[in-house]
Amino acid sequence: MVSVSTTGALIALAIAIIVIVMGAPPAYGMILGALIGGIVGGVNAKEVVALMFGGAGGMSPTLLRIMAAGVLAGALINSGSADVIAENIVEKLGEANSLIAIIASIFILTAIGVFADVACLTVAPIAMLIAQKTNCSKSVIMMAMCGGTHAGNVMSPNPQAIALSDYFQVPLTTVMLGGIIPAVFGFIATILLTKLVHKLGIGSEVVIVEEEGAVELGRPSLFAAITGPIVAILLLALRPIAGIEIDPLIALPIGGLITCILTGDSKKFVEFSSKGLTMMSGVILLLLGTGALSGIIANSGLKESLIHIVEVLGLSGFLLAPITGLVMGAATASATAGSTVGSQVFGETILSFGVKPLQAAVMIHAGSNTLDGLPHGSFFHTSAGSIRMDIKEKLRLLPFEFCVGLVMTIVATIVYGLIGLNF
């Protein structure tokens, strides 16, 4: 079997990071890194390409399910359902709990499958209005939004959860349920850190610029907005509850269709689905590049080197799962890519230490949601742009954001690694 040297694998990662930081599309960065790293690692060009094709080819089931997730996401965003859900949460909690309302709204949006980038763009206008009324800075509402997305992400039917579910052969709903405990702690940590940022007086003043020509569209009811994603989650839950398996490839589009019917947009179902697919296209391309890179790393000596380090340091084997998530999430600045590379490359090794599939999935997921907001990723710039935040101000806030992911990773490691919870 062809094997790339550990040095080659590390060079592949390094080149991918450098190229992404330089501004190239992440998919190209990972493909270029895989190609150069494989050749430097002692494998001829033909074999390197074969390894890359093998890694990317293994992504097919995941990519199909992510395309299906685009149907639900497209329906939620384009029907106005996501806006209605966010606004109702803010309204119910009231101005006195305004910061908690921002966190809760974006937490729930990401938890039901709305992309973190899109969730920020959806909640940002509401958050800016609240900030102006309550004299909160941009850093305060950015902390609320970013922390909320990270917490919601670990219990969401999102691309990274789908990738982990596929690799470890664990039902998607089980991966989502496993993320609830770290998500709750992430939610609490976000509240505390947001209040700390507010108390420290960090950040600039929020200035709202009115957009000319904006048209107020009809909004669906809360029942119509929330029913679709609830039905999708219930369909996915039938496998662990009743032994009836309904694949995300079926359940997620059904949720999108129900959303369109209840919101009176059934005639726009195809249009919304097309927009949802467009939203997912970036993730699909990212994962193809990720697959190519993982094909090189998975067939390298990097796994053995990491195992050796773990043994030399006397660490417990289960710690490899959160470490993998942290490192790969930081390297790719993407929770999706981090979870995918982490599971595909190190999953088998992690399981060899006696870690159960669900435990590995949750720990990798939490870890990959810690450092994924670095500047060489899209979320950093999308979230900052949503409230017109200066890049320097966003950089100063990163340590606070990372603390949310770190809390979730520590909780996941204690609960699923040290205590060994499994179901």
Predicted confidence at residue 259, as pLDDT, reads 95
Indicate whether 298 belongs to any domain.
yes
Task: Enumerate residue ranges in the chain where pLDDT < 50.
Answer: 211-215
Alpha-carbon distance of 393 to 185, in angstroms, equals 26
Q: Which DSSP category does 374 fall into?
A: S
Alpha-carbon distance of 229 to 307, in angstroms, equals 41
Q: Cα torsion at 164, 116, 414, 404 (round to 10°)?
A: 160
Residues 6 or more apart whose Cβ sits within 8 Å of residue 196: 400
The 10s digit of each residue's pLDDT in 228-273 is 999 998 998 887 788 888 888 999 999 999 999 999 999 999 999 9
Predicted confidence at residue 311, as pLDDT, reads 80
Alpha-carbon distance of 229 to 23, in angstroms, equals 35
Indicate whether 289 belongs to any domain.
yes
Number of domains in the chain: 1
Q: Which of 85, 184, 174, 87 is nearest to 130 (CA)?
A: 87
Indicate whether 384 belongs to any domain.
yes
Residue 115: give the domain boundaries.
6-418
Indicate whether 1 belongs to any domain.
no
386, two tokens? 């949503």
Predicted confidence at residue 208, as pLDDT, reads 59
Indicate whether 326 belongs to any domain.
yes
Residue 186: strand, helix, or coil? helix
Residues 6 or more apart whose Cβ sits within 8 Å of residue 356: 420, 422
Indicate whether 64 belongs to any domain.
yes
Alpha-carbon distance of 418 to 317, in angstroms, equals 10
DSSP letters of 219-252?
Answer: ---HHHHHHHHHHHHHHHHHHHHHS----HHHHH
Indicate whether 423 belongs to any domain.
no
Backbone angles phi, psi at 325, to 5 degrees: -60, -45
Residues 6 or more apart whose Cβ sits within 8 Å of residue 296: 4, 8, 9, 12, 34, 37, 38, 41, 48, 51, 52, 55
